[in-house]
Structure 1
């Protein structure tokens, strides 16, 4: 009996190993974060020639929801400019790949995505260097999800900026980081009582605009924030020279006395 068992046991075990390989393991937060996109310098240089409005014009043509614009964000901290001209996009625009953090209301369990914040780890300690961190808060809350300590930690982690689809606090401390920090509102209340970090590096829906890790955040202090889907970057760059050239021609003709209607008909 024992001889027969030894002969068939390997055959019994093989299907179990093969079945396990069919089902992919759930991606951990650290694995998700390792997929962050690095923006090539050549791409950065080309994008810096334009404004957020130019980017949205291209995204509108590409039928991206909301033209990528994250509406109603107010600046709570700004990156210092080396130019006295606040309208100069080459001096003040911040462009970086997106990383994301989703918060949930304490006591509630979102249907999706699955939680993936590492145990015994603060979310700020695993913020992704070189990215524009985009955070989303559960709707209807009056507490903040990002304050001075978290912003300071993210600065030490070398993030490029912070966008909060929710509330922030400690405004003076936020300003001291000299990072571009934008949010929908502010509060005096910390996150501990009402919000918990739920998932890192997951797609977010911010007022109908899809924001995913690896997308490109384009923050233009004069005009706002636009998110370029990662698979649309090349198309946007291809369209921008043509779109901006057409606008320049329209403005030239309007200055000469032509009607906007006729100028649009001629150049757009």
Structure 2
């Protein structure tokens, strides 16, 4: 497997900025990801009316009774790379399979963090937990996604235990069933360096440099997206001209 070069990743990100997570998901579905890279249950709490795309910079919090030591001397927000998407999650023990999806009611992220993130030219922040200071994120025109909101700071409830390590997210896996036919619970992982793209529709992860996801696979993704978007634009025109949707989709997507 060939891990994509930095120059190639820059090209991929530049291409994806012109599209949406929905466009990306269509391509991911086409080339082997049955969930389209989607992470469910997140809401966009602040928007600058544009799509955010960047390389995942990951942060993990744990409950105070977690055996891992707290990274007391680390300020993750001051290390956020330019162009990154900040991804914040909780350890497995603090997650729930259903709403509100986490046991911690304290906010993991607030307005001062977005102020610093924007100064450092981060592209957005994804929080698999609660956030606070919604009006501050909005005033900054900085994109933020979360499971919900809160009013309390994280101090005393959680501690920082990892930066730039994989973030695991508990979801319902509808693509794998147990013996009774019900969907299983599964952990989906965001790795540091993955590409994250998000807008009002939600968040998608484009896996980078793992398993079969090499530069050849990424090339297929970015080559397919504009063709699919063009085809769907033609479908929309056909429908407005009175043609049947199913027939038009079949014809316009025939060569994709």
TM-score range, shorter chain: 0.7 to 0.9
Relative to 1, partners in 2 of residues 1:255 and 1:177: Cα closer, same or farther, differing over 3 Å?
A: closer
State TM-score, norm by structure 2. 0.73
CA deviation digits over 1:226-246, x for unaligned, max 9? 221123532210211332233
Residue 108 of structure 1 deviates from its aligned partner by: 2.1
User: Is the partner of 2:65 in helix, strand or coil?
Assistant: coil
Q: Does 1:105 align with 2:63?
A: yes
Q: Name the CA shift for 1:40/1:61 in 2 (closer, same or farther; >3 Å).
A: closer
- In structure 1, what is the equivalent of residue 231 of structure 2? 246
How far is the alpha carbon of 1:141 from its aligned partner? 1.4
Match of 1:29 in 2: none
Q: Compared with structure 1, are the counterparts of its residues 42 and 108 closer, same or farther at alpha carbon in structure 2 (3 Å cutoff)? A: closer
Tell me the distance in 1 between the aligned counterparts of 2:158 and 2:8: 32
Unaligned runs of 5+ in 2: 96-102, 172-186
The answer to whether the 8 A contact 2:85-2:125 is kept is yes
1:13-24 alignment, distance < 5 Å = none
Q: Which structure is higher in strand share?
A: 2
Instruction: Pick closer, same or farther for the CA change 1:169–1:201 going to 2, 3 Å.
Output: same
C-alpha RMSD of matched pairs (Å)? 2.6
User: For 2:108, what is the secondary structure of its paired residue?
Assistant: coil
The residue matched to 1:266 in structure 2 has which SS?
A: helix
Give the structure 2 partner of residue 13 of structure 1: none
TM-score, normalized by length of structure 1?
0.70
For residues 53 and 267 of structure 1, the distance between their equivalents in structure 2, rounded to whole angstroms, comes to 18
